[in-house]
Amino acid sequence: MGEEDALRFLADRFKATQKEVLTGIGDDSAVLELRDKACLVASTDTLVEGVHFRLETQTPRQLGKKAVCVAISDIGAMGAVPRYLLCSLGCRSTDSMEFIEGLSQGVEDGCREFEICLVGGNLSESQTVFINMTALGEVSGDNTVLRSGAAEGDDIYVTGTLGDSALGLKILSGDSGIGGGEGFVSRHLEPTPRLAVGRMVAERGIASSMIDVSDGLFRDLEKLTSEHGLGAEVSLADLPLSPGFLSISGRLSEDAYRLAVSGGEDYELLFTSSAEKRAAAEEVSRLSGIAISKIGSVTGGGKIKFFDEGEEEVFYDTGGFEHFC
């Protein structure tokens, strides 16, 4: 059983029947209509020791802020504004008060930076440290962007640069002393959710579908296209990769494109849009100061395909991160 199999099972088991549930299990966040098209957007995310982080390479303060960023990134991917957080923390009885204080400082940092409020939660003893964040946000129903709206012929865009977080994790896990890698380690430990860009493309009606890149470009692009039997063609030459990423990945003997395609936790926005709205996407990039790159197009073929500069198809043996595999 893979993660997607488990999610499909749960989505089928818990199909919402209440009319106010506009979007239930299966998207980045649930969308609940409250009144006059005002919607509550709710998402939850968990970071587990040994799966998502190692305490020997991440301070409690960094962990606390990352938990905030990961949770609200899902809210941003719906075009919504995050407002409140609920936090459940599990830690060992041997963990010091200093650990909890550092973690809380990181959560406070995130709340202050993104103007959100922690309003409750739960504390439990656990043999494995975990931190779960439930994020609540708001959006007009007219501006909500789902995963399921892509259409054949749509352009595919991604914000920022890809592969930085995966490279940072490689550096943390191996040669942490490699020169020039500090910024990539920071991208992994302290991601930045693209909240403003998400709101802008939603409010301007640019995105037909959207998701944040948490499990890797391949897997998250598959989530945007597979529901309706669609596929995608992506040009590797158009992937936004920084010069530093290309240099350091080469020194680590990593295939830069493969790392960018399969690496996760960039928390950039991946969205589709009709060709008629290319100028509008470029305008959002200019106004936000965040690069938005067109990397390919949605197809009717049902498969995700990557092509090199010579337009030859390139095959990769991995599709990104998946639990239970």
Question: Which CATH number fits the domain that encloses residue 75?
Answer: 3.30.1330.10
Provide the residue type at 298 as one letter. Answer: V
Euclidean distance between CA atoms 52 and 54, whole angstroms: 7
Residue 203 lies in a domain: yes
Q: What is the pLDDT of residues 208-227, one digit of tens each?
A: 999 999 999 999 999 999 88
Statement: residue 7 has pLDDT above 60:
no
Q: What's the confidence (pLDDT) of residue 323?
A: 47
Statement: residue 6 has pLDDT above 90:
no
For 51, other C-beta atoms within 10 Å of its C-beta total 12
pLDDT-above-90 percentage for the chain: 71
- Tell me the pLDDT band of 20, cut-offs 50, 70 and 90: low
3 state SS for 200-217: HHHHCCCCCEEEECCCCH
Q: Which of 95, 127, 142 is the last residue of a domain?
A: 142
- Tell me the pLDDT band of 304, cut-offs 50, 70 and 90: very high
Specify whether 40 is located in the same domain as 156: no
Specify whether 106 is located in the same domain as 151: no
Q: What is the domain range of residue 247?
A: 146-314
Nearest residue to 69 (alpha-carbon basis) of 105, 32, 106, 94? 106
Nearest residue to 32 (alpha-carbon basis) of 18, 44, 45, 12? 18
Statement: residue 324 has pLDDT above 80:
no
Q: What is the pTM of this model?
A: 0.88
Q: What is the pLDDT of residues 153-164, one digit of tens each?
A: 999 999 999 999
| Rounded alpha-carbon distances, angstroms, from residue 110 to 146, 153, 166, 305 | 25, 38, 22, 37
Total domains in the fold of the chain: 2
Residue 163 lies in a domain: yes
Residue 309 lies in a domain: yes
Task: Please state whether beta strands 130-140 and 209-212 pair in parallel, antiparallel, or not at all (unpaired).
Answer: unpaired
Specify whether 154 is located in the same domain as 295: yes
Statement: residue 165 has pLDDT above 90:
yes
Q: Which of 142, 157, 175 is the last residue of a domain?
A: 142
- Tell me the pLDDT band of 52, cut-offs 50, 70 and 90: very high
Residue 194's CATH number: 3.90.650.10
- Helix segments in the chain, DSSP class H: 3-13, 60-76, 97-114, 164-173, 182-189, 195-203, 217-225, 243-251, 256-262, 278-288
